[in-house]
Amino acid sequence: MTMTILTVDDSRTMRQMLFQALNGAGFNVVQAEDGVHGLEVLDGMDLPDVIVTDVNMPRMDGLEFIEHVRADAERRAIPILVLTTESDAEKKARARRAGATGWIVKPFDPVKLVDAINRVAA
């Protein structure tokens, strides 16, 4: 069965790169433009197998988005990978406290991203 990945990123270019990498690897890709939109998209879909989210976004950043996802009992177990230009140890720690499953620094290697998704979804 094909896995569904929700990507949440405010950059159109990054969303296109994610779509190409993940769709090309055989995943069904659903996209959102920020945390608020990500929650709206989640409300209208079956649970994704993995979520990939940026941190720095307007309206609701990725860490707040993760906290909202984790607050919902039905969504609590969805693996969430943070994909960001940030490499700050405190931000990583905050992401872990919020409930992030893993952290990948941009620019991403498509093969490593696919491998990470397969690992956390197993």
| Helix, strand, coil distribution of the chain in percent, nearest 5 | 45, 20, 35
What are 91-104's pLDDT values in tens digits?
888 889 999 999 99
User: For residue 110, what pLDDT band results from cuts at 50, 70 and 90?
Assistant: very high
**Distance between CA 69 and CA 105 in Å, rounded?**
21
Mean pLDDT confidence for 100-121: 93
Mean pLDDT confidence for 80-93: 87
Check residue 89 and give its pLDDT: 84
